[in-house]
Amino acid sequence: MATGNYPRRFSYSLAIPFLSVFICVHLWLPSPAFAQQESTQELAVNLAEGRVVICAAKDGIIVATIGEHSEAGSRTPAVMSVSALRTAVMLGAVEWVQPESSDKPIRLDTELPGMVAAVLNTSGRPNYSNAASDIEMIGVAVLERVRVVAGLLHNKINMGEDEPLIRIVLAGYVPDYGPEAWTIDYHVVQDALGNDVYRTRVLRPTYNQLYPPEKGQPHTLVEVRYPPAVRAKDAPELLDLLHQNDPRLASVRAANDAVTKSVEFVVDGQSQKSAAAPDIDFLRGALPAVTPAGTKFTMAMVDYDKGFRFVLEPPAEDRPPKDATPREQGAPTLRRKSDTDNN
C-alpha cells in the first residue's frame, strides 16, 4: 500500500461557546418570514441515523453503513461516490421538508456529490498537487449550503453538546499518501431575537482524521455513529465483538481461509495487510449477524487501482440520483508500489 511521509492533520480552535440544541424529525417551526407574517409553518427534518464502518485494506478501503432509526421518517445513511477515489456518507439532518409548500424537499445528501465535485474538479481534471487542503475545501464548500438551509430554523432547538447538526464521513485514497478517512462536523448556535424567535448560525466545521491512525496506534476497523454515542454505554462496535470472540461472528470469520486470515490482520491492528475481497465477504456476513432483522445496509469500496464501486447499493428511497454521482475526468490508473503492500 502506498503511503506518504507528510501529515494531513489540521484543526480549528473554536472560541465560541456551544449552545445546546435538539432537533427531532417533526418540529413545528416558524417560516423565515415569521417576524413579519406572525404565522407558523410545519418544517419536517428527516435524519440519517446509524453507523458507518470503515476498513482500510492493502488494496482498497471499504465503507459500510448500518441504518438505526430512532424516529419515524429517519433515513438509512447511504454510501455515495463523490469522486473517482472518494466516497462519503452524510449523517444527521439530510432532508428538509415544508409540507405546506410546493417546493421540493431539500436533500443535502443528494446535493453533496455536486458540492464536492465543484471543489475537486474546478479545472475539469483531478488535481492532487495540494491534496492536504482538499478536506478543508470540501468542508467550507458544504458549510455555505448548510448555513442557508439552517436559516429555516427560528425556534429554540436542543441537541446534545457533542451532537452536530450534520456529520459527513469521507473516505478514499490519495495518490502518494494512501487511504484516509475523516469526519467533518457542523455544529450550530442560536441567538435570541425576542418573542421566542431565534437566529440559527452554523459554525465553521471541525475536522477529525479517523485513518490513518497516529503513529504506533493499531490499523483496524473504524466506526462512526450518529447520533454520537458513548462507546462504553451503547451497543458494542464490531471491533469490540471481534475482540470478545462473539459467537454470532464465529462462523462468519471462519468462512474460509482467506476470510480468517484477513480478519486476523484486522483484529491484530494490521488491517493494511488484509485483502479487500475477504474483508468485504466478512462484513457482508457479520453486519446482519449482529443487528436486528430488517436492518438496512449499504457498502462500497474504493479500489486503489480501479476507483469506486458499490458492493451493496443504497435502498431506492435513499439512493442519490444517478446524475449526482460524478467521476473525476481523466482519473489516472493508480499503481501501488509492491514494496509497500505489506508495510
Specify the residue for cell string 491534496: 131
pLDDT level of residue 63 (50, 70, 90 thresholds): very high
**Is the N-terminal amide bond of 321 cis, ω within 30° of 0?**
no
pLDDT level of residue 32 (50, 70, 90 thresholds): very low
- 3-class SS letters over the chain: CCCCCCCCCCCCCCCCCCCCCECCCEEEEECCCHHHHCCEEEEEEEEECEEEEEEECCCEEEEEEEECCCCCCCECCCCEEEECCEEEEEEEEEEEECCCCCCCCEEHHHHHHHHHHHHHCCCCCCCCCCHHHHHHHHHHHHHHHHHHHHCCCCCCCECCCCCCCEEEEEEEEECCCEEEEEEEEECEEEEEEECCEEEEEECCCEEEEEECCCCCCCECCEEEEECCCCCCCCCCCHHHHHHCCCHHHHHHHCCCHHHHHHHHHHHCCEHHHCCHHHHHHHHHHHHHHCCCCCCCEEEEEEECCCEEEEEECCCHHHCCCHHHCCCCCCCCCCCCCHHHCCC
CA distance 119 to 83: 10
Q: Output 195 or 320, whichever has higher pLDDT.
A: 195
Q: Considering the domain boundaries, does residue 271 fall inside one?
A: yes
The domain tally of the chain equals 1
pLDDT at position 314: 85
pLDDT level of residue 213 (50, 70, 90 thresholds): very high
Q: Considering the domain boundaries, does residue 19 fall inside one?
A: no
Q: Considering the domain boundaries, does residue 228 fall inside one?
A: yes
Q: Output 127 or 292, whichever has higher pLDDT.
A: 292
Q: Considering the domain boundaries, does residue 324 fall inside one?
A: no
Q: Considering the domain boundaries, does residue 95 fall inside one?
A: yes
What domain range includes position 192? Answer: 26-315
Residue 66 has pLDDT above 90, yes or no: yes
Q: Considering the domain boundaries, does residue 59 fall inside one?
A: yes
Q: Considering the domain boundaries, does residue 12 fall inside one?
A: no
Q: What would the mean pLDDT of 320-334 be, rounded to a whole number? A: 41
pLDDT digits (tens, 9 = 90+) for 252-283: 999 999 999 999 999 999 999 999 999 999 99
CATH of the domain at 133: 3.60.20.10
Q: Considering the domain boundaries, does residue 1 fall inside one?
A: no
- Among 94-98, 292-296, 300-304, the minimum mean pLDDT is found in 94-98
